[in-house]
Structure 1
């Protein structure tokens, strides 16, 4: 007779932990509804209408910083559940509202909900899993984010056939996720010492956040700029550009699921391999002039970010001060959100410096890869010297 697996290793618990990430990056998923929404609010500027897809990032960043303190008082599981409920309620509010101001406020509240469970979705994995199992779960979590974006973008397209209000119904997904999570995930055990420890960050965490800031800036720039490169360069239509971006997302999803296996084989080389692949993708896009080369570069970049990004989050538990994992995850996620937010400005700066934003990315990413390899070599050398 087969011995039952521990509660922390059951399949349903794993799926429940991962399900949270389906809805984390879906803030901009309603972008397709904005043109129709603009027609409904002719007196509102297009800039304000566009903010409906991004304004939640502001409150996400605020609540990323305080979610750890809230979890310390009421528990990680209740905090995540409350965040999911707020996400569901605030997310679907525009389905029933005709007031732009009210809808705008509801998007800010959506950010509150997502901010409450964003970093805790990673902390739960840090606390419930170890070793290669944890690495694979973090990879799967990254893949689930991509899967959520793919599915909900498709659902938004179908709901828009009814009207733009219905597009916001996608956030109702938060309710079954909350029930699923509450039913199958135990409250993670945090040792007493960690509970009493005042959470803090150190310089390695700051450097890791800066690395993620740059990687997300590059990754976002690629998704935003590909339509311009394809259409303005007469390489294809807007539909072609959309297909290539979808391939980028699918590549990221595939790498998320494969991360654990790759990490098991290449270990510490995972991060420099990820940054090097992104550099190669950037130079291929920068060369332009050929649809297939640009497509290959975009797919390479899709593969590379989950490889480097997931490794960074996996590394956090080793470099963050003991008991400060939640704050550390929040700092890394703030780096990611800031990278996404500042991407348009970063692209312009790189373009001014190098003449081509993607050539600039290639150069900087090569330098970053070299810096990581030198740092890893120096760390191992110092470690060997200490043992002698």
Structure 2
């Protein structure tokens, strides 16, 4: 089959390959406890920033990627983004300076921000529904597959030393070569960006909710290595396997989202929040590898349901013609949630008397239960038949 045919398997794989690197920021979380030993004068929250600080620069370049792609073209912009991600991502392998490593992580964020939204845009431009909706689901699953595999690789590389874990960013280069060989410059509809766009209160509310849920999700990925290595005295390789199980569950739930939605409809939102609450409670209740693993897996069921539902609401809640801006706003909220996770964890830990690294999840549990009840009450008594306009 012609590989230039958008419906050929190789073309589909090439389009999806861009998304493999999007969520790799937290993939090196398993190496953070070992890294902390090399920087004894740096606080744990500052070390944790290595896994999240790139989200700050992602937010900035996310806003600029549309403008840059208009000037340079979508394919060139994605190329620059992947090159920046690969080069800056590998830099900590050679460096012993914490400040320079932080700067390199910011550059990684610049690279990811350039192709983050464009990974969705190229699907919008090459495909039409129902294939487009299916491809967006595959794209989300591709993110989870990528970070899951890389978590396992990091767990193996960290056995050498923490520097070696950053070699995972070399993957950006073969992915780029594959993408460049197969995917042509996508066609841009004339006059597609002439309308002035705006956001409204429902979009802002969903953005805040998404930021909170991403912060909870990222907290699991960041804190599991600390719980396993520091509290339970196990190896970083164990924590990487647990994180991989968490992300694999996210992949499965992402693939099953359509089927689950058809069964529970709009109540998929409180269900997703409830999974995060239950997973948090399990992690804080069972002081064992099994408990942490089970809790992390249950938490992994949450974000694919919440995130997919919120993004599917865009066509319903956003002002007409402002869907692109609404999607960008939601992505910024998601990245803000990830970036703020170290501070989020610190504040949650202060709200109860537990001293273990699992302690913040007790506070998270109660906040998530309250949020579940608020959303459930609103959807039961006040929300109209929004779900009729989704997934059709």
What TM-score bracket applies, with the shorter chain setting the length? 0.7 to 0.9
Query: Closer, same or farther in 2 for the Cα pair 1:181/1:383, shift >3 Å?
Result: closer
Corresponding residue to 2:384 among 372, 376, 380: 380
Q: Does 1:13 align with 2:11?
A: yes
Instruction: Number of aligned residue pairs: give it.
Output: 379
Residue number in structure 2 paired with 1:119: 117
The offset of 1:301, in angstroms, is 0.9
Residue number in structure 2 paired with 1:361: 364
The offset of 1:134, in angstroms, is 4.0
* Contact kept in structure 2, 1:135 and 1:259, CA below 8 Å: no
Residue number in structure 2 paired with 1:177: 175
CA distance in 2, matches of 1:306, 1:97: 35
CA distance in 2, matches of 1:33, 1:351: 22
- Of stretches 51-60 and 348-357 in structure 1, the one that deviates more from structure 2 is 348-357
Corresponding residue to 2:137 among 128, 139, 142: 139
The offset of 1:328, in angstroms, is 2.9
Structure with the higher fraction of residues in helix conformation: 1
For residues 187-215 of structure 1, give each alpha carbon's deviation from its aligned partner in whole angstroms, at most 9, with x where no partner exists. Answer: 44554343212343322221121111111
Query: Closer, same or farther in 2 for the Cα pair 1:218/1:110, shift >3 Å?
Result: closer
Residue number in structure 2 paired with 1:250: 248
Instruction: State the TM-score, normalized to the length of structure 2.
Output: 0.78
Residue number in structure 2 paired with 1:221: 219
* Contact kept in structure 2, 1:133 and 1:260, CA below 8 Å: no
Query: Cα RMSD over matched residues?
Result: 3.9
* Contact kept in structure 1, 2:268 and 2:305, CA below 8 Å: yes
Query: Closer, same or farther in 2 for the Cα pair 1:126/1:46, shift >3 Å?
Result: same
The offset of 1:297, in angstroms, is 2.9
CA distance in 1, matches of 2:315, 2:161: 45
For residues 26-67 of structure 1, give each alpha carbon's deviation from its aligned partner in whole angstroms, at most 9, with x where no partner exists. Answer: 23434566677788x88x954577655444233212111211
Instruction: State the TM-score, normalized to the length of structure 1.
Output: 0.79
The offset of 1:149, in angstroms, is 2.0
Task: Give the alignment of 1:220-299 within 5 angstroms.
Answer: 220-226=218-224, 237-238=234-235, 241-288=239-286, 292=290, 294-299=292-297
Residue number in structure 2 paired with 1:334: 332
* Contact kept in structure 2, 1:72 and 1:195, CA below 8 Å: no
Query: Closer, same or farther in 2 for the Cα pair 1:200/1:187, shift >3 Å?
Result: farther
Structure showing greater radius of gyration is 1
Q: Does 1:85 align with 2:83?
A: yes
The offset of 1:132, in angstroms, is 5.5
Residue number in structure 1 paired with 2:298: 300
* Contact kept in structure 2, 1:137 and 1:260, CA below 8 Å: no
Structure 1 unmatched ranges of 5 or more? none
